[in-house]
Amino acid sequence: MFSTLIKFFKFCDKENRRKFTGSIFVGILNSLFMAFRIAAVAVMLRGVIGTAIEGQPFETKTIWISFGIMCVSMIGGIITRKVTAMWQCEGGYRTCAQKRIEIAEHLRYLPMGYFNENSLGEITSVTTNTMEAVGDVATRAVMMVFQGLLDTSLIIIMLFFFDWRIALVALAGFALFEFVNFFMRFAVKDISADKIRDDAAEIGKVLEYIQGIAEVKAYNLVGKRSRELNEVINRRKKTLIKMEMRCIPISNLQSLVAKLSGVAMMIASLYFYLAGTMALADCATMLVCSFMLFNALEAGGNYSALLRTIDLGVTKASKILALPTMDIEGRDAAKAEKAAKAAGSDKSFIHASNIDFAYDKRKIIDGISLSIPEHSTTAIVGPSGGGKTTFCHLLARFWDVDKGNVTLQGKDVRDYSMDNLMKNYSFVFQNVYLFHDTIANNIRFGQPEAPMEKVIAAAKKACCHDFISALPNGYDTVIGEGGASLSGGERQRISIARAIMKDSPIIILDEATANVDPENERDLMTAIEELTREKTVIMIAHRLKTVRNADQIVVIDKGRIAEQGKHEELVAKGGIYARFIDSRKEAVSWKL
């Protein structure tokens, strides 16, 4: 249990850790105030019993002393309990919020391969379920368990001042309770791991089902996909029921131990009183204590089953934060320049020198060297799966190359800080993602403080001002997540407006016109022309009209450059590119 507490504290940042530490010290005060109730009861019982049994005069000050102690206990308990609860809630929710932001920032700098190896469901589960557990359940569980231990320990210590024999009986009950509690934590050890796994699986399957609902309906797979989703949900339900079924018997046993320990204290107190070794007032005090002692411990014990789940959740989040990021601050410039010279790097605007890259032990890029002059257009074509997109991602350092180097203006891309490097690139992908926000905010995504005039100017250049103005709320229209409420061409043009706002010197177009209908194509081509004016353009394209006017065409096949040159040169060679052109012409000539 203490290892979980330590891990939880390490997981929190310095400020929130200070709040939790402070809440523990205030919790100790709260436990002391709670223990004062015993003193108040003892004073009153001794006064009443002394009057009734021994014939001593009952003094009014006894009532006031008992009342005073009880008031101090109650007021002090209320204040310290409020402070403890506030600090714990603030620390828990702030930790939850900060860790979500920290994980999001950390994910920005992970190699793209991580997102291929790990499902969206797992990442989402960590940032939702796990962080929710940290912010709410973890704080309550860890602190209630700890507070229960504190309250019980301090009361037992106080009992030693009244009667060490009863204190030993209470201590034995406390030890037996913790022994049973250990078995509860052990019993849910394996199920906690299953719960974490099933949480991620359920979120992943729900996201997959929703995102692919169009395909599910189109191919009449509703029953099959629903069955898969139901199976995941039912598996998680069974895991949760299994956890409860394991916990309930042990939790009942815990409660029984706590109650029997109280009964043992009562029996021992009565025995010692009848044997003449304990005063009646002390016996009555111990009887009252037997009802008070294990209340807090029992409440905390019921939460202890969650400690293993919390432990695993914190470990999972910590593993993401511990994943090695790409060198976002840049390498040693002198060493990098020496390495670039050794690799034969020239001073081209963008230069790839004999680069290799493998993913999952499968080589994707195999010894590619390519120079891209400034303010030129380079078209990259080739068979599907040949490595075109991966090569472009390597140029922008979405991944680090395994061998060779990529330079930008003669400087290795690994020498730039990640943020400074990304300022040089704008991307327009085939599948555009727009956020659930206003159109204006989607366009100014890279410049959140940009004035509306700049947003409108970018929209006009991207040929989307007219359709935006026709929307009910214009630029303040909130679009659905992913831009689902807009057509494909409209989404593309908004993404181009976003790229125009960023105004980076290098534009990478990845099949930007592949899925656009004829009605939108003219506007989209105009928008792309505006975006790429006086820029260095790298495009992955299959449309003849897009490719043929490029300054250089690079054909990538099986991770290598198969052909390179201008349109006429490559057509004359009669190779892969020529066959690609023939297939495009044939496709265009098809009629229904």
| pLDDT tens per residue, range 13-61 | 788 888 888 887 888 888 788 778 877 877 787 777 766 665 566 677 8
User: Can you tell me the mean pLDDT for 236-260?
Assistant: 83
Q: Is the dihedral of CA 12, 18, 21, 26 positive or negative?
A: negative
214 or 154: which carries more pLDDT confidence? 154
pLDDT given at position 24: 79
**Exposure on the CB side of residue 92, measured as CA atoms within 13 A:** 21
- Note the pLDDT tens digit of each residue in 465-482: 888 888 888 889 888 765
C-alpha pair distances (Å), 359 with each of 77, 326, 364, 404: 60, 16, 7, 16
This prediction's pTM:
0.62
pLDDT in tens, 153-177: 888 887 888 788 988 998 998 888 8
The pLDDT score that the predictor gives to residue 197 is: 77
pLDDT of 335 reads 45
pLDDT at 17: 80
pLDDT at 268: 92
The pLDDT of residue 377: 87
CA–CA gap between residue 396 and residue 426 (Å, rounded): 10
Residue 434 DSSP symbol: -
Over range 343-352, report the average pLDDT: 64
Is the model more confident about 2 or about 123?
Answer: 123
Burial (CB < 10 A; 0-12, 13-18, 19+), residue 558, is: middle
How far, CA to CA in Å, does 372 sit from each of 387, 415, 505, 533, 576? 18, 19, 13, 16, 21
- Per the rule left: phi > 0, alpha: psi between -120 and 50, beta: everything else, 58 is beta
- Find out whether 217 and 190 touch, Cβ atoms under 8 Å: no
Write down the pLDDT at residue 341: 47
Neighbour-count burial of 61, counting CB atoms closer than 10 A to its CB (0-12 exposed, 13-18 middle, 19+ buried): exposed
Q: Give, in degrees to the nearest 5, the angle at Cα 180 between 176 and 184.
A: 160
Q: What is the 3-state secondary structure (H, E, C) of 292-319?
A: HCCHHHHHHHHHHHHHHHHHHHHHHHHH
pLDDT of residue 332 exceeding 50, the answer is: no
Interatomic CA distance for residues 238 and 230, integer angstroms: 12
More confident position, 44 or 140:
44
pLDDT at res. 229: 78
**Residue 439, pLDDT above cutoff 80:** yes
- pLDDT on residue 54: 57
Q: Are 312 and 196 in contact (CB under 8 A)?
A: yes
The pLDDT, as a whole number, for residue 168 is 92
Helices (H) and strands (E) in the chain, counts: 25, 10
In this prediction, residue 484 carries a pLDDT of 61
